[in-house]
A = this chain, B = another copy of it.
Amino acid sequence: MSLPTPGKPVRGSKSGNHLMALFDLLGRSWSMGIIWRLQEGSCTFRVLQERCESISPTTLNRRLKELTQSFLIERTVDGYALTNKGKEIFLLLKPLESWAKDWAKNFDTNE
């Protein structure tokens, strides 16, 4: 899968609309989950894999590469870590947590 880069055609926009490039990046399996889990603290590949509960190493590796190339993640002495940009995105995603909690009430747990 090619990296969705602002300025280049992406899923959602032939003109490379910035926001659509971001949606393409974040809208890949596990992207947001990885950012969320990394916020808990920098960690190694294997630890991150455990935090994500059920991600395959193949997918984790792909996402890590993409997110790194997109300046959201970097490697430090502590392993993988969110960059400042990554932390910013996390802050933007954060409100989704409480919203999701409320949203969940709509679902009948017996279905």
Contact = CB atoms under 8 A, between A and B. Distances in A.
A18 B92 contact: no
Copies in the complex: 2
Given A14-B53, A71-B106, A100 B32 contact: no
Nearest to A28: B27
Contact of A19 (B7, B14, B97): B97
A23 B6 contact: no
B7 A29 contact: no
Interface in A30-80: 30-33, 36, 52-55, 71
Closest 8 CB pairs of A and B: A6-B104, A18-B100, A22-B100, A18-B104, A12-B33, A23-B32, A19-B100, A7-B109
